[in-house]
Amino acid sequence: MTSPLHHSRAWTGAPLVQDAVAERCNVAAAYAVAAANLAAVGDTPGMVHSLACAGRAILAATEAAAILRPAAAEAPR
């Protein structure tokens, strides 16, 4: 009989990475909304800063998502 942990998706670690990706995407979305609001009131420096933060959050999400790619997809052909 196998342990209940072996039937859990959390055992593979993939859902934890997916949660990290989702969290970073939510952060990026919040910064994008902030940038739009700052642009609407004419705060260009604030808008640029928020867009830069959104970009860093998107980059972090992309790097976290790279962990989910199968190793075979990254092997040279």
pLDDT digits (tens, 9 = 90+) for 17-73: 888 889 999 999 999 999 999 999 999 999 999 999 999 999 999 988 888 776 545
Distances (CA, A) of 66 to 26, 37, 58: 18, 31, 12
The pTM of the full predicted model, rounded to 2 decimals, is 0.67
Tokens coding 11: 């055992």
Output the pLDDT for position 18. 86
Output the pLDDT for position 15. 80
Distances (CA, A) of 9 to 23, 42, 54, 72, 76: 19, 47, 30, 21, 29
Q: Where are the domains of the chain?
A: 14-68
Tokens coding 77: 């052909």
Tokens coding 3: 């342990």
Q: Is the Cβ–Cβ distance between 24 and 67 less than 8 Å?
A: no
Tokens coding 2: 């196998």
Higher pLDDT, 38 or 75: 38
